[in-house]
Amino acid sequence: MNASRLQWASSSPALSTGLETSSSCSKLGFVNFRGGGGCGDSLKTKKGLFVIKAMDVEGSRTVNLNGHAGDSDKNGSLLSSIGNSTNIQWHQCSVKKEDRENMLKQKGCVIWITGLSGSGKSTVACALSGILYRRGKLAYVLDGDNVRHGLNRDLGFKAEDRAENIRRIGEVAKLFADAGVICIASLISPYRRDRDACRALLPAGEFIEVFMDIPLHVCEARDPKGLYKLARAGKIKGFTGIDDPYESPLNCEIALRHTGGECASPCEMAEEVISYLEEKGFLQA
């Protein structure tokens, strides 16, 4: 296959503009990345987040950089492989995200509320949802505990389970945002790499990280579920803030802080998020 006759398609918009074929490449699979930016490293470290496919112009074969190859089906549609899923195809619909946003008179996004247990994540999420509802905006809360009642009930609290818990919620949140909904995800999500992976799922600006910057001693004094007491007694292992780390965001969009020994009310905190949404144009189509 002549490299100059390849067409490139990517499920990652950031990569689709950074690819070019070279007439000097005689074998399928040689790709030049323009402008640096670490794309080559991303292919190694973020396997599964995207697929790049090299297609013959006649559409007879698909090869992606995850190392799998697939053929066109009988109708000529290109099939691909992502992770352990093979021979799959992305189906496009005539109704686009912009159409749904225009109907709802808002812009879809993900508001990711992170912080220690007892920091007020769920309370602020519900307050925010209520304010948006009263303003005629469609929002939905993905609460960490609630999701573990169903979708993630097979997961525990080991590091790998926590990572999978966040990955699944990130994927669901992305679908809500694509539907034009303001999705409010509320969960501890203690590790930066997992939160960053969820951010990478969405277009720039649509992932809004809200850090509940409440000191550990305040959260422990609240202890609404009695979990800190159990963790201190050694009855719960790997509890965030006690014997498992919480990695604070480095560049969050919003930080809700406990200052001067006092904490704003949940509604006041939610109004800070509302102000951000207004400023960035999410509350209008």
Residue 189 is a catalytic residue: yes
Q: Where are the domains of the chain?
A: 100-280
Predicted TM-score of the model (pTM)? 0.73
Contacts of 159 (CB under 8 A, 6+ apart): 191, 238
To the nearest 10°, the Cα dihedral for 106, 125, 265, 228? -160
Q: What is the pLDDT of residues 146-201, one digit of tens each?
A: 999 999 999 998 889 999 999 999 999 999 999 999 999 999 999 999 999 999 99
Q: Which of 119, 189, 248, 265 is catalytic?
A: 189
Query: Residue 268: which pLDDT band, with cuts at 50, 70 and 90?
Result: very high
Q: In the chain, which residue ranges form alpha helices assigned H by DSSP?
A: 13-16, 39-45, 97-104, 121-134, 144-147, 159-178, 192-199, 216-222, 227-232, 266-279
pLDDT tens digits, residue range 109-142? 999 999 999 999 999 999 999 999 999 999 999 9
Pick the CATH number of 100-280 from 3.40.50.300, 3.90.230.10, 3.40.50.1000, 3.40.50.2300: 3.40.50.300
